[in-house]
Amino acid sequence: MSRTLLLTLRYDGSRYHGWQVQQNAVTVQEVFQNALGDLLGTRPDLKACSRTDTGVHADMFCISFETDSRIPCGQFPQALNMRLPRDIAVYGCREVEEGFHARYHCLGKRYVYQILNTKQRNPFYEGRALHYRYPLDEKMLHQAAQQYVGQHNFSGFCSYKSTVEDTVRTVSHCSVERKGDLVTFSVQADGFLYNMVRIMVGTLLRIAQGKFRPDCIPVILEKGDRALAGPTAPAEGLYLSRVLYAFDPLEEQRVTNNFKERE
């Protein structure tokens, strides 16, 4: 009897050409499928919550699939991690209802973009944060970022390569915060367009540079012209931070772990 599992993992995307399998390029999906196939003896059809581009990271990435395997959920992460490279790790597994789809049942996502705001680069952030050596006023940028909140047509913040027709998205949260030298842009929405977050960041950086007015974002949203927005920020600072469902994908694991601790 088959069951549907939802796996939660994180990965450093620095050496991968995104999530989705590509010809002549190493991707996270390819490496993950190989590990899963080695564990199960078969290669199930994976339903991923999203697609990440080359160099983009994920602190929470969800995958659903059907399997006849009876491996307990509590043992799945360790069994897979023994077969995965050190830059990919599974940290959650739970059984979900038949027909569950990691992408189509997703209610929203949260992304963060990290900027290392120092004059000199830091090798420990290489490939994991954008190094920006000029001063950033995070309070001013936080105020400007609030203009993204709400339901808008984000066609002006979408890559020219995108073929998506419905470009209306609802942003429920947006913030810019500083912790020491690290400035973090965080945004949560019911969905995102191709390169949307990176263009939002690029626009904020243009505001920081004084090249765009702090109140320019509503005009770009209204006009829907990609040429009016800022450049697409590099992929290295972007992380898929949270995938939102009607339930917490990790709740069952936490309950199990707490029960084992009490025993």
Q: Which residues are annotated as a binding site for substrate?
A: 111
Alpha carbons 242 and 108: distance in angstroms, whole number: 8
Angle at 60 between CA 130 and CA 9, to 5 degrees: 115
Burial of residue 262 (number of CB atoms within 10 Å: 0-12, 13-18, 19+): exposed
> CA-to-CA distance for 103 and 52, rounded, in angstroms?
13
Active site residue 53: yes
Q: Which of 53, 59, 137, 190 is catalytic?
A: 53
| Cα 29 from Cα 17, distance rounded (Å) | 10
Q: Kindly report the length of the chain.
A: 263
Burial 117-152, CB ≥16 within 10 A → b, else e: beeeeeeebeebbbbbeeebebeebbebbebbbeeb
Between CA 120 and CA 13 the distance in angstroms is: 23
Q: Which of 28, 143, 134, 47 has its CA nearest to residue 98?
A: 47
- The span from the CA of 260 to the CA of 60, in Å, is 24
For the annotated catalytic residues, the residue numbers are 53
